[in-house]
Structure formats: structure tokens, C-alpha cells
Amino acid sequence: MKRFLSGIQATGDLHIGNYLGAIKPCVELQGEGESIYFVPNLHSLNTRPDPAKLRKETLSNIAWFMAAGIDPNKSILYVQSGVSANAELCWILNNFVTMGELSRQTQYKDKSSKKGVEGQLVGLFAYPVLMAADILLYSATHVPVGEDQAQHVELARDIAERFNNIYGDTFVVPEAVVRKVGARVMNLQNPDKKMSKSDEGQSGNILLLDNKESIQNKIKRAVTDSEGLVEFSDTKPAIANLLQIYSGVTGDGIETITAKYAGKGYGELKTDLANVVVDSIVELQTKYHELLKNEDYLLEIVKEGNRKANEIASAKLLEVKVKLGLL
Ligand code: TYM
């Protein structure tokens, strides 16, 4: 039986990269096996968030999951801090990973290169270990993520194999599910850089909360090139990015889209792209706002999700503790 698991951090407003790279695949995989989706709010602590903002963004991500189609009757939908076993397994797994491995994680390297290593929080450095615990504790077979998280899933695999080799079969070795299209949506103003929550407010991100005009303006102003040819190619990253967003949103293949715009300019592609993005995001937003109106209902969903997640997690944690001789 396949078990899908993924998480979306409560740190800043979600963008269309989060949707196409992770949320949409999570929804599509629901029903092909068991699924567990969650908000990793302990991960967010490395940005020292304002408590009220963290609480709000945690519930907001639960609402986005549900607005996109995650059904709490079909999937477990929970919040990381509601299951203590995640943090406890993280501590155990810290002893199965080296400083060298963590120093080589691209995301950590990117973040520490801006500020220098000395002042980095241990919580940021060790963040992939908590992510490994999130995955291994629930025996996930498949982890749908965007490309930037694939290296962390790879590390979770290494940790699982290392543990299993010493203590016998304990953890399922998980596989990252990274879509060909939509797994690395780039910034509309700088197509060499991925769209990122930490670039909030910039015109290069399409936020899930953007209104129609804002989406249209951002797409209209997206950088292109001077060739005017709608082609999918590594040498044309700006156009390739617009095409992958188009394909991710509509489900049409890249070839179908390039054929449709052959001989036409970028203007037409951009107008149509804005329309399809607006249609899909507006539909999501309507459901999202509806869900947020009833906070008690969302809290009930989380409580029930936490309960189910705790059952799975505590059984696995006990197995690990017995193997390690922890009384
Ligand atoms: P996070 O919250 O940064 O991102 C959530 C998901 O969105 C994907 N993503 C993108 N996909 C395509 N294009 C982009 N520009 C883009 N930006 C982000 C991410 O790859 C991710 O799938 N550490 C994780 C959260 C996490 C997790 C886990 C995920 C914690 N524990 C266990 C899976 C399994 C993170 O910070 O993702």
C-alpha cells in the first residue's frame, strides 16, 4: 500500500509554485493510497515568527490544503506540533546524520551564504533531520515535493537505510515524487531564481491570495526575451517558466501549448496564461475564504488529524525506542 506524505510550512504567503509543485500533486495522489498531509509549524520556528502570525498561517495552510481538494475524510490532515513524537524522533535521528551532510544541503548553503555560518540557528541547520523524522515516523512510501526539497528527501532515505542497516528493518525508505512540470516554478522577474515565500510582496511571485488585477499585471510584466518565439528550451528560461505554469494549471502538455502559440507572440500567451491562472486561483480563493470563516471547524479537523497521526507515530516511535534500548 502506498502512503503519500507532504508538508507545507507556515512561513509567509503561499505562491503558485507551492500549489503546482506540492499541493496539486498531493490532491491528485489522494485516493491512490493512504495520504498524510500536514503543516510543519515546528520548522517555522527558525524564522522566530510572531506567535499570532504563526497560528494564523498554520490554520491558513490547513485551509489551502482543503480548498485545493484535500478531504479530511480521505487523508490525515494534521499539525506537526500536535504530535510530540516528530520532535522526539528528530532528536534520535540527529545521531544518524553528520554535520558534513547537513552542511551540504543546498537550501542551508543558500541561506547561510547570505548571513554567514556563525550566526545561523541550529534549528535551521538541523531542519532536514526534523523533515526526515516527519517522513520516517509515518512510513511514507512517497513524498510529493517541489524540486528544492528533493535533496532533503534523499537525506531521509540515507538516514533510513543507515538506521535499518544497524538495527534491522525499521523504516520504510521513502521516494520523492517530483513532477516534470511545476516542480520548480521560477520568479517572473528573474527566471534564474525560483519563486520563493521569502520574496513576499515582490512582483515576481504569483501569490495564492493575489487578486485578479494583480495576477494579470504580474504576468503582463513578466520578463521575456527579444526573440518573440514561444518555445520550451533551457536557453529561454523566462518563456519555459510561463509555459510550465500554463501546463501545470491546465494539465495540457507543453507540446500542445507550444503548438497552439506557434507563430504568435508572447502577448497572446501572457493574456491567455493570466486568464487560466485567474480562473483556477479565484476558485481556490472562494473555497479558502469560506473555510476560514469557520475557525472552530478547522480546529476540529486539526484535532482529529492530530489524533490519527499520533496513533501512527507513537507506534513507530515505540518500535525505535525498544530497538535502541531506551526504557
Ligand atoms: P516549503 O514550505 O518551503 O514548500 C512547500 C512545498 O512547495 C514546494 N515549492 C515549490 N515547488 C515548485 N516551485 C517553487 N518555486 C516552489 N517553492 C516551494 C516545495 O518543494 C514543497 O514541496 N521542508 C519543507 C516542508 C516539510 C516537508 C516535510 C515536506 C517539512 N517536513 C516532510 C515533505 C515531507 C518546506 O520547507 O517546504
Rounded mean pLDDT of 310-321? 98
Q: Whose CA is nearest to atom 16 of ligand 1?
A: 17
Q: What is the pLDDT of residue 109?
A: 87
Amino acid making up residue 266: Y
pTM here is 0.96
- Domains of the chain (ranges; CATH) run 3-178+295-324 (3.40.50.620), 212-289 (1.10.240.10)
Cβ atoms 147, 185 nearer than 8 A: no
Rounded mean pLDDT of 130-155? 98
| Lowest mean per-residue pLDDT among 64-73, 90-99, 110-119 | 110-119
Query: Where do we find the cell 520548480?
Result: 184
Output 111 or 185, whichever has higher pLDDT: 185
Whether 180 sits among the annotated catalytic residues: the reply is no
Catalytic pick among 2, 115, 180, 197: 197
For residue range 97-120, list pLDDT tens digits in order. Answer: 999 999 999 988 888 887 788 889
Total residue length of the chain: 327
Q: Is the pLDDT of residue 191 over 60?
A: yes
Query: Where do we find the cell 487523508?
Result: 75
For residue range 233-286, list pLDDT tens digits in order. Answer: 999 999 999 999 999 999 999 999 999 999 898 999 999 999 999 999 999 999
Q: Is the pLDDT of residue 200 over 60?
A: no
How many Å lie between the centroid of ligand 1 and the Cα of residue 145?
A: 6
Whether 316 sits among the annotated catalytic residues: the reply is no
Catalytic pick among 53, 111, 287, 321: 111
* DSSP symbols for 120-175: --HHHHTHHHHHHHHHHTTT-SEEE--GGGHHHHHHHHHHHHHHHHHH-S-S---E
| Predicted confidence band of residue 201 (pLDDT cuts 50, 70, 90) | low
What cell does 159 get?
A: 538516514
- Ligand 1 atom nearest to CA at 130: 31
C-alpha span between 173 and 7 (Å, rounded): 18
Cβ atoms 44, 9 nearer than 8 A: yes
Rounded mean pLDDT of 164-192? 96
Output 84 or 196, whichever has higher pLDDT: 84
Angle between the N-to-C axes of helices 51-68 and 295-324, in degrees from 0 to 180, rounded to the nearest 10: 100
| Predicted confidence band of residue 70 (pLDDT cuts 50, 70, 90) | very high
Amino acid making up residue 193: K
